[in-house]
Structure 1
Amino acid sequence: MRVFLALARHGSLSAAARALSINHATVARRVQSFERSLGERLVERRLDGYVLTPAGARLLGPANDMETAAANLSRQGKEHQPAGLVRVNAPPSLSQHFLASRLAELCRNYPGIDIDLATDFRTVSLERHEADIALRFGRPQDGDVLAKRLRPIAFGFYATAEYRRRIEAGADPAFVGFDESNAHLPEALWLSKHFGRKRLSFRTNGQSTQAAAAKAGAGIALLPHFIGQLDDELVICDLEPEPPARELWLVMRRPSRQSLHIKTVTDHIAFVFANESSFFEKKR
């Protein structure tokens, strides 16, 4: 069951093997043995990795519950010591610049908790147990989940001081934005709607690299304040219209609130966002 869960979560034999500290041939053998014992195919191999069959998808929920129950049993006599793996999914820039270090502190304070932090623009499915906790922009539309609003994330236009002086002197601005594969993201769509006639001088897939391009003088980048204000060489550019803030939500499956280790992580995430609000506010 544990090997099946690893393959379902990671999508490849090699990634599942690394997660379990075994070799990929062992993963394949154990999953095949598990399938024979059940009399059903659970996974299907495709060009881009392994996906669950309908039977595998039905089994995923009970398998995850068994894993949680086993972790709870291992804590007998240690009721106040949360232990177990907690899988968190969050936007890449937020994970890199804020969340990773705060979750690392949690591991130090609770040695029994293991964190798997995945950074992906793709919205993961809590129902398919791709994550235990997800941080998302916008009110979640999932089914039976618990959702908590964490805070608004404000944005601004950032460039070098020299580039800002050129704009203030009347030069036509050029922008740094997302590449074509990420043109569907809300920030990319908003920039295209309001500044679509302006030149997009530099395209990349992440806000951290957009900040680096803006710092190098490529143009103006639309960035969350918590990224734009990290570098003293970037300054705010006052352009109209002002970009809107986006609401950040914490989402978890309703049954997960009974798991001490998952609840410990959700409480910690809510605490750091509530108590470090200055990190996300416009300062200059």
Structure 2
Amino acid sequence: MHRRLAWDDLLYVLSVGRTGSLSGAARTLRVNHSTVFRRIAAIEEQLGVRLFDRRRDGYAPTAAGEEVIALAGRLDDDVIALERRLAGEDLRPSGTVRFTTTDTMISTVIPICADFRRAYPEICVELVTGNEFLNLTRRDADVALRPSAKPPETLHGRRLATIAFAVYGAPSYLAATGGPDLDRTHQFCGLDDSLSHLGAYRWIADNVPRERIGFRASSFVALVDAARVGLGLAVLPCYLGEESGLQRVGAPLAEVSTDLWLLVHEDLRRTARVRVFLDFVSEAIGRSRAMIEAR
């Protein structure tokens, strides 16, 4: 008897189609590279048609592959939407809340998570940190605490604060270079091009000659450590600079400030565990608002 394609088969095809490679699909599906290779080969043999052309730069879908990927994508969207709707019917504050934020907010959110667990012991908090914006529509996370000038319109958001930024340096570095004066020819630590969309990156580009930038990094946390060891000054969120023992140089930079948002998909915001988590985080961040806004 001819075996029908299973949902798992479609997921393998969809993942290769979306990532363009076996390794990318393996990371998405959390399986081995060889498993993806075997499954795609088996699916193609079952269907009697080639779904992907193997090229040096990755896997490109054939016409048949594009049809399967389009169908799998529609089904995937439907399954995710169903999961969100069913999750939204939960009335008891229990289960898991997957929470994402930037690495700079870790020291702020960990105490909040600890207090939340004491208040709601039946809810497990999974924290995902990083600078990439996880897809709440696809439920990579349930709740996001993110700096953003304009969050996606598909998400429900609460603006919690305005994040102030300023220039910071190590006290020892400033003492050795004549003090906290931006008019001097200081060395700077900058962000790399992966964060070129941020105001801190643009401020450095507009105000600091390239020859005075001797270090770049892909995170503010790395800039803190670079400033601490005297590599130069860095533009940092004020809450991060202050808690790191660095010294502020000048007033906060109004043109670099950005809003801090608490975001959730519309289908999940009335779920009991998500709703209580949103309220708890909002109230806790409110108590830290003066520090975040450098007031």
TM-score by length of 1: 0.71
The 1:128–1:231 alpha-carbon spacing in structure 2 relative to 1, beyond 3 Å, is: closer
Match of 2:62? none
Match of 1:115? 125
**Structure 2 counterparts to residues 202-217 of structure 1, below 5 A:** 202-217=215-230
2:165–2:253 Cα contact (<8 Å) kept: no
> RMSD between aligned alpha carbons?
4.2
Structure 1 CA distance for aligned equivalents of residues 247 and 167 of structure 2 = 8
Aligned length: 260
Structure 1 CA distance for aligned equivalents of residues 268 and 70 of structure 2 = 23
Structure 1 CA distance for aligned equivalents of residues 173 and 133 of structure 2 = 35
**Structure 2 counterparts to residues 190-201 of structure 1, below 5 A:** 190-197=203-210, 199-201=212-214
Moved more, 163-172 or 269-278: 163-172
From the CA coordinates, give the structure whose radius of gyration is larger.
2
2:220–2:236 Cα contact (<8 Å) kept: yes
Identity, in percent, stands at 22
The 1:134–1:195 alpha-carbon spacing in structure 2 relative to 1, beyond 3 Å, is: same
**Structure 2 counterparts to residues 157-172 of structure 1, below 5 A:** 157-165=167-175, 166-168=177-179, 171-172=184-185
Which aligned segments of 4 or more residues in structure 1 are displaced greater than 6 angstroms? 1-4
Structure 1 CA distance for aligned equivalents of residues 192 and 146 of structure 2 = 21
Deviations 1:220-240 (A, max 9, x none): 0111111111133x2111279
Deviations 1:56-107 (A, max 9, x none): 433344423544566678x7xxx543323x222322212x221233224323
Structure 2 CA distance for aligned equivalents of residues 2 and 274 of structure 1 = 44
**Structure 2 counterparts to residues 1-284 of structure 1, below 5 A:** 13=26, 53-67=69-83, 79-84=91-96, 86-94=97-105, 96-165=106-175, 166-168=177-179, 171-197=184-210, 199-232=212-245, 234-238=246-250, 244-282=256-294
Deviations 1:179-237 (A, max 9, x none): 243334331122211224561122111111111111111110111111111133x2111
TM-score by length of 2: 0.69
2:165–2:252 Cα contact (<8 Å) kept: no
**Structure 1: segments with no counterpart, 5+ residues:** 19-23
1:140–1:249 Cα contact (<8 Å) kept: no
**Structure 2: segments with no counterpart, 5+ residues:** 1-6, 16-23, 52-56, 60-67
CA shift, 1:14, in A, is: 6.6
